[in-house]
Amino acid sequence: MKAILLKGPNDWELAELPKPVPAKGQVLVKMAFAPINPSDLAFLTGNYGLKKPFPVVPGLEGSGVVVESGGGFIANRLLNKNVACTAPNAGNGTWAEYMLTDANKCMDLSKNVSLEQGSMLFVNPLTALSFSKKAKKMNADLIVFSAAGSALGQMVTHFVNEIDIPVFGIIRKENLKEETLKKGFSKVFCTENAEFLKELNATAKPFKKVIFFDAVGGGSVPYQILNALPDNTRMVIYGRLDQNPSDFSPQNILFKQNTVEGYWLSKEAQKKSIVEVILDVRKIQKMLSKGFETQIQKKVKLSELNSGLETYVKGMSAGKVLIDCHFGSAQ
């Protein structure tokens, strides 16, 4: 089978690998599509939280058809079904013609959800749903969200609108402001604007329970935003789009009584029962079946990965890039 093989940080190639055979409790998925996520970029560079020995096939999530079962109730039930799937914690990922994974890392897709949309069922939707639950649990009266032009940003506003909490978006480029507002944000602030911190501070001042979800992590901007927000703001760092060292002053956290915490979907998922995960995924599939879809800007073949990565990095706000895992022409 053809697969992307990561030999070390930033070192990959299209390789020929043997097709794996499932053991009990495992399934073999004939992959259809796999998205490129920021977490995949981190994995390619060796900066992701989950470390796997090299060489390894990257790709954290995707979709396909279960073509073989190694036995067991769940694995047998999934045979011949379209599924959304995630890579095993140890072993190869989704950027291949076939992937071997645990049966409990697959969820069969409803008939109204395409394989394209199903390939993005886990990472962004489950993160967005988790964020809305965190905001609701703390009785937040304002959510601030960086990287607001992303696919995740649109999903967050969708779930948060159900619980009626305003969401302020932070973007980098002024020309994306109107487009981002259309995604459901109450207000949008642009870091290119020299006055954006003053404007954010004045607009956020009336709020008492603020939660700030940050995808940037590095540099100084996330912490300038935190300092502009009201006292007792809760900052949740869920990404590291900026690989530079974090530049913040502890006294701004100390005297403003802010809190800073990390969020990693893989760890959050481990805290949930299988019933909770099933209910969350059903809610997401229902949302997708009603026409709420992630925008796809481009599909690339496995052999065109470099082009796909370049497109995605240059324009994350334009939509997802999907890897078409059928070897040959992109569908």
**162 in Cβ contact with 132 (< 8 Å):** yes
Q: Which top CATH class is 2-120+294-324?
A: alpha beta
Measured between alpha carbons, how far is 321 from 131 in angstroms, rounded to an integer? 24
CATH ID of 132-266, from 3.55.10.10, 3.40.50.150, 3.40.50.720, 3.40.50.920: 3.40.50.720
The tokens describing 34, both together, are 């796999």
CA distance 56 to 282: 31
**Is residue 21 within 8 Å of residue 68, measured between CB atoms?**
yes
Which residues face 61 on adjacent strands?
86
pTM of the model: 0.91
Q: Where in the chain are the domains?
A: 2-120+294-324, 132-266
Evaluate whether 263 touches 237 at the Cβ level (below 8 Å): yes
Sort 329 into a burial class: Cβ within 10 Å, 0-12 / 13-18 / 19+.
Answer: exposed
Distances (CA, A) of 150 to 128, 215, 274, 287: 12, 10, 28, 18
N-term to C-term CA, the chain: 18
Judged by DSSP in three states, 203 sits in helix
The pLDDT tens digits along the chain (331 residues) read 999 999 999 999 999 999 999 999 999 999 999 999 999 999 999 999 999 999 999 999 999 999 999 999 999 999 999 999 999 999 999 999 999 999 999 999 999 999 999 999 999 999 999 999 999 999 999 999 999 999 899 899 999 988 999 999 999 989 889 999 999 999 999 999 999 999 999 999 999 999 999 999 989 999 999 999 999 999 999 998 888 888 888 887 899 999 999 999 989 888 888 888 889 988 999 888 776 789 999 999 999 999 999 999 998 888 999 999 986 444 4
- Cα 201–211–37 angle (5° rounding)? 110
